[in-house]
């Protein structure tokens, strides 16, 4: 994989038909939202392709609307896939589907190894374990969805440092809704989503000059839930305030209308899963085998 490679899901079966986070309101969902979701997902895919990425697609499955959020499928690094276990029964039906998706990707050489989480733990994949390429560590969210006890499993599976961050609110229930490391070492995050101890852990590792704090409005627009490729950041429609903040720091924004997905509590990062991340350059990995 010489290009950044993402997994996305065909949005044909996406809707908001249950409520497992405070953004979801099944009564507010209309056929117009379903049509807009098809357009939004296509626009996100186009933005990733335009940024030089390759996209692999998971087929839609009836009755599993949140399969459109493959960030929750697994934690993936160096070709290793740690499969997710979902907190809510509404999403647990995704687990066997995702296992077979990764088995197929393994057959094709796109991943190397599939690892199961020990029984009794919940972990919702890259939504709650975000690789920081500059610091070479995983930032790990826990609380509303993922078990704190899953974090040592991530450390052992991938052999890298993990920083546990407890999420303080149901609104920002996955770490990726409120925390986004950017190329060059900057971190875009929403401070009010974290407990005081977690906030201190972030600030101990990210010097002030590298912190970009999102406002409540920017976080509610799901702009922290962004995909970053070098200087490019692909995100939901941004308030002017955030656009300015990021452009002043040298980043280029591609904004996509993802409003139907925000009604489910997700946006661009949630709708993708990066498959090709390596903790060391590929040449070194192969030399070590
Ligand atoms: N409705 C989905 C859920 O509550 C949204 C998931 C968004 N994904 C994410 N990585 N934040 O599980």
Which tens digits make up the pLDDT trace of 164-205? Answer: 999 999 999 999 999 999 999 999 999 999 999 999 999 999
**69 touches ligand 1 (CB under 6 Å):** yes
- Cα-to-centroid distance, 80 and ligand 1 (Å): 22
% of residues, the chain, pLDDT over 70: 97
Cβ pair 256, 268 in contact under 8 A: yes
| 140, 178, 180, 270: the active-site residue | 270
Residues 6+ apart with CB under 8 A from 246: 188, 212, 233, 238, 253
Q: How far is the CA of 266 from the centre of ligand 1 (A)?
A: 5
Q: Are strands 162-166 and 179-181 parallel, antiparallel or unpaired?
A: unpaired
Angle at 36 between CA 23 and CA 180, to 5 degrees: 50
Please indicate whether residue 264, judged by its CB atom, sits closer than 6 Å to ligand 1: yes
Spatial contact of 182 and 228, defined as CB atoms under 8 Å apart: yes
Q: How far is the CA of 248 from the centre of ligand 1 (A)?
A: 30
Task: Tell me the C-alpha to C-alpha distance, in Å, between residue 131 and each of 1, 95, 199, 280.
Answer: 18, 22, 18, 12
pLDDT at 66 over 70: yes
The phi, psi pair for 232, rounded to 5°, reads -90, 135
How high is the pLDDT of residue 287?
53
- Which structure tokens are listed for 74? 């697994």
Alpha carbon distance 68, 203 (integer Å):
32
Q: Is 9 in the pocket of ligand 1 (CB under 6 A)?
A: no
Nearest partner of 202 among 225, 175, 229, judged by Cα = 175
Residues 37, 149: Cα–Cα separation, whole Å = 35
Query: What pLDDT is attached to residue 286?
Result: 52
How confident is the model over 69-89, as a mean pLDDT? Answer: 98
User: Could you tell me the pTM of the whole model?
Assistant: 0.96
Cα–Cα distance for residue pair 281/289, rounded to 1 Å:
13
Contact 21 CB / ligand 1 (< 6 Å):
yes
Q: Across all residues in the chain, what is the average pLDDT?
A: 96
**CB atoms closer than 10 angstroms to residue 111:** 22
Q: Catalytic: which of 174, 178, 180, 223?
A: 174
Query: In Å, what is the CA distance from 190 to each residue of 172, 213, 222, 247?
Result: 9, 6, 11, 18
50 alpha carbon, distance to own chain's centre: 20
> Ligand 1 centroid to 66 CA: how many Å?
7
Return phi, psi of residue 185, to 5°: 95, -5
Catalytic status, residue 180: no
Pair of tokens at residue 161: 């440092």
Q: How far is the CA of 91 from the centre of ligand 1 (A)?
A: 10
92 lines ligand 1 (CB under 6 A): no
Cα distance between residue 237 and residue 188, in whole Å? 16
Q: Is 270 a catalytic residue?
A: yes
Full set of structural domains in the chain with CATH: 5-280 (3.75.10.10)
Structural contact between residues 66 and 90, judged by C-beta atoms closer than 8 angstroms: yes
Q: Would you state the pLDDT for residue 289?
A: 47
Token pair, residue 229, equals 């490729």
**Atom 1 of ligand 1: nearest residue by CA position:** 264
| Ligand 1 contacts CB of residue 71 (under 6 A) | yes
Q: Is a pLDDT exceeding 80 seen at residue 85?
A: yes
Ligand 1 pocket member 14 (CB < 6 A): no
What distance in angstroms lies between residue 231's CA and the mean position of ligand 1's atoms?
A: 26
pLDDT in tens, 97-126: 999 999 999 999 999 999 999 999 999 999
The 10s digit of each residue's pLDDT in 269-289 is: 999 999 999 998 655 555 544
Residue 128 alpha carbon, nearest atom of ligand 1: 10
Q: How many other C-beta atoms are found inside a 10 Å radius of the C-beta of residue 116?
A: 11
Chain Cα centroid distance, residue 54: 17
Nearest CA, atom 6, ligand 1: 266
Burial of residue 35 (CB within 10 Å: 0-12, 13-18, 19+) is: exposed
């Amino acid at each position: 994989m010489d290009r950044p490679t993402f997994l996305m899901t065909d949005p044909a079966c996406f809707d908001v038909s249950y409520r497992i986070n405070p953004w979801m309101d099944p009564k507010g969902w209309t056929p117009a939202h379903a049509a807009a979701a098809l357009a939004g997902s296509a626009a996100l895919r186009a933005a990733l392709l335009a940024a030089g990425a390759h996209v692999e697609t998971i087929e839609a499955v009836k009755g599993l609307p949140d399969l459109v959020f493959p960030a929750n499928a697994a934690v993936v690094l160096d070709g290793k896939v740690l499969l997710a276990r979902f907190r809510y029964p509404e999403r647990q039906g995704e687990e066997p589907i995702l296992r077979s998706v990764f088995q197929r990707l393994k057959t094709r050489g796109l991943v190397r190894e599939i690892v199961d989480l020990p029984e009794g733990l919940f972990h919702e994949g890259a939504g709650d374990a975000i690789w920081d390429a500059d610091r070479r560590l995983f930032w790990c969210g826990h609380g509303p969805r993922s078990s704190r006890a899953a974090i040592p499993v991530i450390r052992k599976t991938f052999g890298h440092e993990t920083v546990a961050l407890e999420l303080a609110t149901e609104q920002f229930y996955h770490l990726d809704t409120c925390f986004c490391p950017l190329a060059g070492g900057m971190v875009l995050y929403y401070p009010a989503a974290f407990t005081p101890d977690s906030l201190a852990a972030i600030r101990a590792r990210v010097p002030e000059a590298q912190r970009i704090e999102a406002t409540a409005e920017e976080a509610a627009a799901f702009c922290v839930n962004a995909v970053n490729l070098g200087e490019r950041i692909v995100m939901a429609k941004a308030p002017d305030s955030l656009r300015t903040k990021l452009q002043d720091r040298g980043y280029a924004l591609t904004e996509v209308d993802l409003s139907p997905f925000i009604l489910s509590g997700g946006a661009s990062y949630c709708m993708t899963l990066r498959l090709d991340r390596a903790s060391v350059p590929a040449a070194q990995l192969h030399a070590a085998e």
